[in-house]
Amino acid sequence: MAKVLYSATMSLDGFIAGPSGDMSWLADYLGDNPVAAGLVEQIGALLIGRRTFEGDDPHRGTEKEGALEGAWQGPQFVVTHHPLAPPPPGITYVTDLESGVAAAAAAAGDKYVNILGADIARQALTLGLVDEVLVFIAPVLLGDGTRLFAFPGGAKIGLERMSQSEAPLATGVWYRIAR
């Protein structure tokens, strides 16, 4: 049965995108990371927020453009209230988060559903649909942007560390959700 993983590369001050969705900073901290490279094999499907799907790609125009630096191929489910018809090849639009998670899990088999996007991750986390969180901490401060997890008024979600890793460009921390 698929597990649901929320993964992202985050600035030390907690942002996964800079102001206005700026992702140009990220290119300096990608690559040379065995944990990130190994994750590619473990992902069976992506569940992607529409803003992430249509957002900046720090590798746009290069061979690394696309999901997980262009290294991953497979079913991608894009969460949106406004699906375009027809979807681009390989993309399935889903208009409801819970059914989107279920569809992605069915497609992922016994691999991970990897969530990309903080808004949909926040909803999935607070609905109890996420099993694990993997964050690569980049040595940079951004000051503003999209937080890894933002919940007005606060929400406490306990985590248990599974592993941590050091790569030249980022520090990885991998947690399971405490149940």
Ligand X SMILES: NC(=O)c1ccc[n+]([C@@H]2O[C@H](COP(=O)([O-])OP(=O)(O)OC[C@H]3O[C@@H](n4cnc5c(N)ncnc54)[C@H](OP(=O)(O)O)[C@@H]3O)[C@@H](O)[C@H]2O)c1
Nearest to 23 by CA among 90, 79, 63, 69: 69
Q: N- to C-terminal Cα distance for the chain?
A: 18
Element housing 99 (H / E)? helix 97-108
To which residue do tokens 């947690």 refer? 175
Whichever of 33 and 52 has its CB closer to ligand X, that residue is: 52
Backbone angles phi, psi at 40, to 5 degrees: -55, -45
Whichever of 110 and 152 has its CB closer to ligand X, that residue is: 152
Report, in Å, the least distance between residue 129 CB and ligand X. Answer: 11
Report, in Å, the least distance between residue 13 CB and ligand X. Answer: 13
Select the residue whose beta carbon is closest to ligand X and give its number.
49
Report, in Å, the least distance between residue 167 CB and ligand X. Answer: 14
Whichever of 15 and 44 has its CB closer to ligand X, that residue is: 15
- In this structure, the number of other CB atoms found within 10 A of the CB of residue 86 comes to 8
Task: List contacts with ligand X (CB under 6 A).
Answer: 8-9, 16-17, 21, 23, 26, 49-52, 55-56, 79-82, 95-97, 116-120, 123, 146
Whichever of 31 and 55 has its CB closer to ligand X, that residue is: 55
Whichever of 126 and 164 has its CB closer to ligand X, that residue is: 126
Report, in Å, the least distance between residue 52 CB and ligand X. Answer: 3
Query: CA 107, CA 57: separation in Å to the nearest integer?
Result: 25
Tell me the one-letter amino acid at 40. V
